[in-house]
Amino acid sequence: MTQFKRATGILHQAAYLKGKRDRPESAPLFLTTAFNVDDLDDLEALYGVKGYTYIRTRNPNRYALADLMSYLEGGEASLICGCGMAAISTALLALLGSGDRMLSDLTLYGETQELFTLVFPGLGIKVDFADFTNPEAVKAALRPDTKVLYTETISNPMITVVDIEAVAAIAHGNGAKLVVDNTFTTSSVIKPLELGADVSINSLTKFANGHSDAICGSLTTSQAIWTKANALQQLLGTTVDPFTCWLVTRGIRTMDLRVQKAMDNAARLAKALEAHPAVSRVNHPSLESHPQHALAKRIFKHGFGAMLSFVMPDDRKGINAFLRKLEFAHYAMTLGGYRTTLSHPVTSSHHGVPEEERRKMGITFGLMRVSVGIEDPDDLIADFTQALEVFK
């Protein structure tokens, strides 16, 4: 509980103003670009204790959120970034430089893959890809100069599950670090650091915030890696404003409740969709048909995640009609909110990925990704069922 208490303490400590102390029930928000100092001696003293001077370098709301994430993910230190992609790039650029090599999972969020294939080569970073659901394929793809392995706990959008513990052992046996994107599961389901990962990434925009009104990201790691990432962040400017941190801290208060409800709903919806004649495949780890169902049962302690995907006919008119017919669920290119949303990977998250690469991942035109919310499950199932009638 140390980090959790410390996060609360930071907000209370920052409320000291000219000797007056406030202890509000709701965390205070510090909408200021800088804090006043008395003189040069006061400024140097603040530097010495890492006090608050300029918001980009330090601010109470960001530090409180960082300590909350360290507590939740079970790490030594966390860095809060402007979005999930900022957290990914900051973490990896702190671990890699020109001439280095990394090994990435084949199935990833589209823009993460684009970062690796379009940006990293220009920085002199070589990237190889392998199927991380197959540990033997990971071993075979390693090179002597591979410094980092990168994967998602549950892949976007194919919902494959990676054995983090096995991949971590492979990475460390090669002298490499393992970086894991934990966004789809959150610490409510799994803590990658406890299974051997060196860095756990979260897009806090998603389930942590949970209200679709703030963009934020985090990386949680060891103090040594944090020190490198923090120095880089100050120069790249991948920090985030106090109000966003305040919103995400508010969202985290109900994260476990929301995620558990959404996971229960997802399991019921997945089962209903699997039985529907218009659906040829459903990807959700709760289903016995899922290729990593046994692994998911072993490593996920409280549920199978609230993300699923399913395959409809490759019929653009039919898909459009299905989306328009939905009443509770809505088409929106985001996830992790309290409402159920759908996304079409081919035209959104993986739009920039070449078709040949998409098909290798199993991403067809009929694939739809669903972020399940906290609605009444019977209403949700009825909504999808009536909308799928367009394919009769």
In a shared domain, residues 75 and 220 = yes
What's residue 16's pLDDT?
Answer: 42
Mean pLDDT in consecutive groups of 10 residues from the start of the chain, 392 residues: 60 47 76 90 85 87 95 97 98 98 94 95 98 97 97 96 98 98 97 98 98 97 98 94 96 96 98 98 98 97 95 96 96 93 87 77 91 98 98 90
In a shared domain, residues 228 and 370 = no
Looking up residue 261, the CATH number of its domain turns out to be 3.90.1150.10
Q: Which residues carry out catalysis? A: 56, 109, 181, 206
In a shared domain, residues 45 and 191 = yes
CA 216 to chain centre: 10
What's residue 22's pLDDT?
Answer: 60
Q: What is the largest CA-CA distance in the chain?
A: 76
What's residue 291's pLDDT?
Answer: 97
Residue 253, token pair as written in the block: 């208060």
What's residue 316's pLDDT?
Answer: 95
In a shared domain, residues 162 and 224 = yes
C-alpha distances out from residue 204 to 182, 200, 245, 324, 390, Å: 10, 12, 10, 29, 35
In a shared domain, residues 217 and 263 = no
What's residue 11's pLDDT?
Answer: 56
d(C-alpha 199, C-alpha 228), whole Å:
13
Contact call for residues 121 and 260 (beta carbons, < 8 A): no
Please report, as a single letter, which amino acid is at residue 151: T
In a shared domain, residues 295 and 227 = no
In a shared domain, residues 179 and 303 = no
Q: Which residues pair with 349 in a beta bridge?
A: none
In a shared domain, residues 97 and 189 = yes
What's residue 314's pLDDT?
Answer: 93
pTM, 2 dp:
0.93
In a shared domain, residues 369 and 233 = no
Q: Kindly report whether the peptide bond that precedes residue 157 is cis, defined as omega within 30 degrees of 0.
A: yes
What's residue 18's pLDDT?
Answer: 44
In a shared domain, residues 156 and 186 = yes
Residue 118, token pair as written in the block: 């379009």
Which of 195, 218, 252 is the C-terminal boundary of a domain?
252
If one counts the domains in the chain, the total is 2
383: domain range? 256-391
Other residues' Cβ atoms within 10 Å of the Cβ of residue 2? 9
In a shared domain, residues 199 and 337 = no
Which of 252, 273, 290 is the C-terminal boundary of a domain?
252
What's residue 178's pLDDT?
Answer: 98
Looking up residue 42, the CATH number of its domain turns out to be 3.40.640.10
Which of 211, 231, 252 is the C-terminal boundary of a domain?
252
d(C-alpha 177, C-alpha 199), whole Å:
8
In a shared domain, residues 80 and 119 = yes
